[in-house]
Structure 1
Amino acid sequence: MNSYAALLRGIGPSNPQMTNDKLRAVFTGLGFTDVGSVVASGNIVFRCADTDVPALEDRIQEALNAELGIPGGTIVRSREELRALLDSDPFPGLTHSRGTYLIATFFKALEAPAEIPDFDDPLARVVGVDRAARAVLAVVDNSVGKTPDFMAWLEKQYGKDITTRTWLTVQRVVKKMG
């Protein structure tokens, strides 16, 4: 059995159709095992025999839309991909805080861009692209009144088949995967 994490886009925990118990029920209904949720923002871990990740993403998204009316995006990563991303230590010496808000933006595409154009805001900077995990890694300064709209900028550059997680959430997801 393969261990995966589904990173769901557009989940609003206050929406009664998007609660963790309902999300887990969809995954269990698909025949997946060891289904669990991490944080109330659309991070579901599970096990299954499937190895065709794009087909798995489509299958999950179709079920979420049919059963809960969630049209958003489903991005799946294996435990190995996420573990390798964590082990690469892309934020050396940095600790997640308001001044150094560490984020990873995952691409649904089979490849992440080789490099990201400069984001013209001193409060956010791209620190790298992890091609294997298909993720862009960035640091955002949320300690001042005006927060840079880095995620909207990424969406404008690359479309809606992306989703962003804090580095702490990525760590929690991998821990939950065992």
Structure 2
Amino acid sequence: MPRYIALLRGINVSGQKIIKMEKLRSIFESMDYKNVITYIQSGNVIFDCEEDDPAFVRDRIVSELKVQLTFDIPVVIRTLEELHEVVENTPYQIVNAEANEQRYVTLLSHSATEAAIAKLEAFQNEVDEFRVKGLTVYLLIRKNYGESKFSNNFIEKKLGVSATTRNWETVNKLIQLAEGRS
């Protein structure tokens, strides 16, 4: 049975689209997903599901959330194996903690076109940097993510795809939880 991680975009931010994790867990359980775990308030859900088509699973979750919560929530789905690949393929293996460098990943819902990627790459700068690899945008932030030009909204607009961003620690914690390690 595949192990999935659903990453919801834009919930519990600035008092909008408020969802308690208890409610979110119950929605996933009502869809007959097993071993449901939520992690922090930003909408990370780990679960087992017999369906092996991630796009079908995502569409079902989006639809059920709309029915039960009455508002749209974009969802990005990754398998446990795909999250492992995200970590293994980072171009930023080493960060300078003394210089406050931080890693983030923006997970794309779909592949971006080469033209869109080129458009985004035109915004590279000395302060923060990024690399696009498949369905992942790896970010190396040198100041503060909240002040970075490369916000989730900016990346979505330039690439023309829905996405959600998580910090490096969250991605690794999701892997630990999905593997049954806490």
Q: Same fold (TM over 0.5)?
A: yes
CA RMSD of aligned residues (A): 2.4
Would the alpha carbon gap of residues 76 and 35 (structure 1) be closer, same or farther in structure 2, given more than 3 Å must change?
Answer: same
Tell me which residue corresponds to 1:83: 84
Tell me which residue corresponds to 1:67: 68
Q: Deviations over 1:71-102 (max 9, x none)?
A: 12011000011112212343221166882121
Consecutive unaligned residues of structure 1, counting only runs of 5 or more, are none
Displacement over 3 Å in runs of 4+: 13-17, 95-98, 112-116
Tell me which residue corresponds to 1:130: 133
Cα shift at 1:120? 4.7
The answer on whether the counterparts of 1:53 and 1:76 sit within 8 Å (CA) in structure 2 is yes
The answer on whether the counterparts of 2:90 and 2:138 sit within 8 Å (CA) in structure 1 is no
Would the alpha carbon gap of residues 97 and 28 (structure 1) be closer, same or farther in structure 2, given more than 3 Å must change?
Answer: farther
d(CA) in 2 for partners of 1:97, 1:4: 35
Most deviating of 83-92 and 113-122: 113-122
Cα shift at 1:40? 1.3
Q: Deviations over 1:16-55 (max 9, x none)?
A: 8411111111100000000001121000000011111111
SS of residue paired to 1:72: coil
SS of residue paired to 1:83: helix
Would the alpha carbon gap of residues 121 and 148 (structure 1) be closer, same or farther in structure 2, given more than 3 Å must change?
Answer: farther
Q: After superposition, where does 1:93-112 map in structure 2 within 5 Å?
A: 93-94=94-95, 99-109=100-110, 111-112=111-112
Q: How many residues align?
A: 173
SS of residue paired to 1:90: coil
SS of residue paired to 2:76: strand
User: Which structure has greater helix proportion?
Assistant: 2
Cα shift at 1:122? 3.0
d(CA) in 1 for partners of 2:82, 2:97: 21
The answer on whether the counterparts of 2:102 and 2:141 sit within 8 Å (CA) in structure 1 is yes
Cα shift at 1:147? 1.1
The answer on whether the counterparts of 1:96 and 1:167 sit within 8 Å (CA) in structure 2 is no
In the alignment, residue 139 of structure 1 is paired with which amino acid? L
SS of residue paired to 2:147: coil
What TM-score does the superposition give when structure 2 sets the normalisation length?
A: 0.84
Out of 111, 116, 123, the residue aligned to residue 119 of structure 1 is 123
d(CA) in 1 for partners of 2:53, 2:97: 33
What TM-score does the superposition give when structure 1 sets the normalisation length?
A: 0.86
